[in-house]
Structure 1
Amino acid sequence: MRRRQCLTWAKREVGLQCQRRARHDGPHQASFSDRSGTHFEWNDGANRFGYEVHPGTVRYRPGTPSLAYRLGEWTASVLFFGAFGTLMWVIGSPVAAVTYCLVVMLLSVQRPHFVDVGRFTAGVFLVPQRNFPPFFAIGFARYGPEPDAGRSGLQVIIGRRSLMVCALLPRTEWAEFQRRTAERDTARRKDSAR
């Protein structure tokens, strides 16, 4: 179910829309920003000065956009970036156009996507904001967070997006992992056959 914002507005002096979900129970609530130290509460039938100020924020965060909005956004981006990529192909070089399209696709990622092929994986994920990644970096992915962990693959960071191609496990551990997986599958099949 999509979140819909309550349509009720605060009194004229405050001028804020209620930031709770539609059809909520209790008084209407609104605050000026995510960092606001206070919020306003009021009831539908109260007088024009009938709001109260309470500590904390209730800033509304909208849910996912509608399908029509997402389709329109996708169509506009395909038309714009496709036209610009085609122009780069004609005027510049095919390599520049392909690189441009790949970078645009990489920067549009909003959540992690990975594809596993045997012992290897390739994917894109967002670097946490607390790490303050550089705008552009090329480096090695490692098997763990320890400084002495072995290198597992290549990693390219553009903004907060990280493109990674690496091995899931070292070659020596991969055979043992496959053996344990096969044993688990065999035991599961025996249990389901009973």
Structure 2
Amino acid sequence: MNYSWEDGATIAEHRLLSGTVFYRSPFWSASTAYRAGEPTASLVTALGLWWLSSLTTALVFLALDLLLSVRRPHFFDVGRFTAGIWPVSPTARAPIIGLGWMLHGEDRTAPKAGLELVIGRVSVAAYALMRRKEWAEYKLKRAKGLAGMVD
């Protein structure tokens, strides 16, 4: 709820209006400082690794740091193939590192769709969304559907 006063009204003569009220948080708050501190610490650590060891070590550290900081799923689709990164379910036991197959279906005898790599609490995979035959049928049905919409 928010309060509304008419011109010249006292504080006792206000009306309660329903609606959403948005409050802007200050530019520099504790949460903003914390969120800015994480990448700063990562960059300082990477610069230290570069200075002490090599550029390759620093880049590997940054890549792993970005990989392990994933909080929500991200996917990139190209035709019938997709690559994605997502956090592992909090109820699942997280291995230190794991390599497995993505399957087309629920049972273990389903055809393989692609590879999955699990590092800690993050899963990375590249796989086909559909098998070739299914993809050809899907494209044909989609083309017919689009042609029907044009007519």
Which of residues 31, 54, 65 is equivalent to 1:104? Answer: 65
CA distance in 2, matches of 1:153, 1:145: 14
Per-residue deviation, 1:130: 3.0
Percent identical pairs in the alignment equals: 31
**Post-superposition CA distance 1:48-85 (Å, at most 9, x none):** xxxxxxxxxxxxxxxxxx68556433422221111211
Identify which of structures 1 and 2 has the higher relative contact order when contacts are C-alpha pairs closer than 8 Å and 6+ apart.
2
Which residue does 1:165 correspond to in 2?
126
* 1:33-72 alignment, distance < 5 Å: 68=27, 71-72=32-33
Give the gaps of 5 or more residues in structure 1: 1-65
Query: Counterpart of 1:129 in 2: which secondary structure?
Result: coil
Q: How many angstroms apart in 1 are the aligned matches of 2:102 and 2:150?
A: 36
Deviations 1:145-189 (A, max 9, x none): 210112211211122210111111122222111111222222233
TM-score normalized by the length of structure 1: 0.57
Superposed, 1:37-186 pairs within 5 Å as 68=27, 71-186=32-147
User: How many matched pairs?
Assistant: 125
Cα distance, 1:95–1:181 mapped onto 2, change above 3 Å:
farther
Query: In angstroms, what is the RMSD of aligned CA positions?
Result: 2.2
Which one-letter code corresponds to 2:96 in the other structure?
A: F
Q: Label 1:93 to 1:170 Cα distance change in 2 as closer, same or farther (>3 A).
A: farther
Unaligned runs of 5+ in 2: 1-24
Q: Measured at CA, do residues 77 and 149 of structure 1 come closer, stay the same or move farther in structure 2, by a change above 3 Å? A: same
Name the aligned partner's letter for residue 150 of structure 1.
P
**Hey, what's the Cα distance between the residues in 1 that align with 2:86 and 2:114?**
15
TM-score normalised per structure 2: 0.71
